[in-house]
Chains A and B, each alone.
Chain A
Amino acid sequence: DTGVSQNPRHKITKRGQNVTFRCDPISEHNRLYWYRQTLGQGPEFLTYFQNEAQLEKSRLLSDRFSAERPKGSFSTLEIQRTEQGDSAMYLCASSLPRDRNTGELFFGEGSRLTVL
């Protein structure tokens, strides 16, 4: 399978615990995005990487959230001291470099977080 891969698919945690999600993009894609999606809503932008550089962060990304893409391949999204309001689906997407980019985003199946 050469699509975008996300792990874990589901995570249940207690309030105050830390969680980490991983995203493996399509191998030739240098652009990587994290989104948050709550029930009945469209995806909301969190952050964007081009290669290993984090070029944009949404104001939705509080100090408790951190994302990395250390070698320009996979990425991690960590949430510290989780709150019940963090419960959501976290989606990762990737896309081609600018010279071949058609604007299409390729999404993983998401990581669903439930904070008790």
Chain B
Amino acid sequence: AQSVTQLDSHVSVSEGTPVLLRCNYSSSYSPSLFWYVQHPNKGLQLLLKYTSAATLVKGINGFEAEFKKSETSFHLTKPSAHMSDAAEYFCVVSPGAGYSSASKIIFGSGTRLSIRP
């Protein structure tokens, strides 16, 4: 069975300060992990993905995440927040690219990121 927990439903930071969005997962497979971003009334867009290569993954817009198997975590970070980063962020666990069961792609409940001027 797979599950994903986003530890914060809402994070608020000041512009120019670091961002940390936390995600813990559980999986009986060697999982693939993803972060998606959703701006209001828009679809989800991929930020970055981990698929068993390098554990530190760099994504778009200066975001990165580190896969820590011992801690079953995949936290999303950015050194300096920008106003345009305000959005909803979803952590996703998947059994991998060759999966045969789409229902095993599990989305977290999301973290809303607010940026203070």
Contacts and interface: CB of A to CB of B under 8 A. Distances in A.
Interface in A77-116: 91, 93, 98, 101-105, 107-110, 112
21 contacts: A33-B102, A40-B9, A41-B109, A42-B107, A42-B108, A42-B110, A43-B107, A56-B102, A58-B103, A91-B44, A93-B44, A101-B98, A102-B49, A103-B49, A103-B51, A103-B94, A104-B34, A105-B105, A107-B43, A108-B43, A112-B41
| Interface range on chain B (Cβ under 8 Å from partner) | 20 to 34
Given A42-B108, A98-B97, A107 B49 contact: no
A65 interface: no
Contact of A103 (B9, B44, B96, B103): B96
A108 B42 CA distance: 8
